[in-house]
Amino acid sequence: MNRVPYTEDHDLSQIKSLDELKEMALACRRCNLRAECTNVVFGEGNPTAGLMLIGEGPGAEEDRLGKPFAGKAGQLLDQILGAVDLDRYEHTYIANVVKCRPPGNRVPRPEEARRCLPWLYRQIELLSPALIVLLGSTALQNLVDPQARITKMRGQWLHSKSGIKIMPTYHPAALLRDPGKKRPVWEDFQMIRDEYLKINNR
């Protein structure tokens, strides 16, 4: 397929496959982040897993490799998943609010997120996960409520209009800064694993 630059008026509901969506996202120039990054980090994992994890945006390592959660926070995420017998490639699909690295790892600006989110929304529609885990406040605020506080909302199941169960929890990078957050995140992931086993009838 030719890489058609994605403009505001593209109707992404016409895109019927994840591969096609990825191809288009890789050609996106909707905000200035693309000019400064190396790779568009579209997302990866098992598209049929039923469990989607959503982070904030790529950092340096993710940008270099074109893969989500490839750096220190990613290693910790793998450990957290491993502690509840989940494997990122087998049991999850991972994506971010923005697909291009904000310079210096700053939080994506609202306008950058607004321009990028249609990719994520269509990705969610195509993957149709039963469960979504929002990693940190950027994911929570962009996908649920701009005023929401992760400290208040983490560890509770929310329900989307389309029936997806959504669990906000702390971002792994927050655990690296504050190890006191490890315990609540571990408890959250136990709930996530229990729900995952239920949806997969195990």
Nearer to ligand URA, 51 or 173 (CB): 173
To ligand URA, the closest distance from the beta carbon of 61 in angstroms equals 8
Q: What residues numbered 54-83 form the site for ligand URA, per CB under 6 A?
A: 55-59, 62, 68-69, 73-74
Centre a 10 Å sphere on the Cβ of residue 115 and count the other Cβ atoms it contains.
20
Q: Which of 163, 152, 160, 165 is nearest to 192 (CA)?
A: 165
Calculate the alpha carbon distances from 136 to 1, 151, 171 in Å: 35, 9, 4
Nearer to ligand URA, 99 or 163 (CB): 99
Nearer to ligand URA, 10 or 22 (CB): 22
> Three-state DSSP class for 53?
strand
3-state helix, strand, coil split of the chain in percent (to 5) is: 50, 10, 40
Nearer to ligand URA, 10 or 64 (CB): 64
* Residue nearest ligand URA by beta-carbon distance: 55
Q: Does 119 bind ligand URA (CB under 6 A)?
A: no
Instruction: Print the binding letters for residues 88-117 with ligand URA: x by CB under 6 A, - otherwise.
Output: --------x---------------------
Q: Cβ contacts of residue 154 below 8 Å, gap of 6+?
A: 168, 169, 170, 184, 188
To ligand URA, the closest distance from the beta carbon of 121 in angstroms equals 17
Q: What whole-number distance in Å separates Cα of residue 114 and Cα of residue 168?
A: 20
Nearer to ligand URA, 10 or 176 (CB): 176
Rg for the chain, CA atoms, rounded: 16
Q: What whole-number distance in Å separates Cα of residue 147 and Cα of residue 33?
A: 24
Count of chain residues binding ligand URA (CB under 6 A): 12
Nearer to ligand URA, 10 or 107 (CB): 107
Chain residues binding ligand URA by CB under 6 A are 55-59, 62, 68-69, 73-74, 96, 173
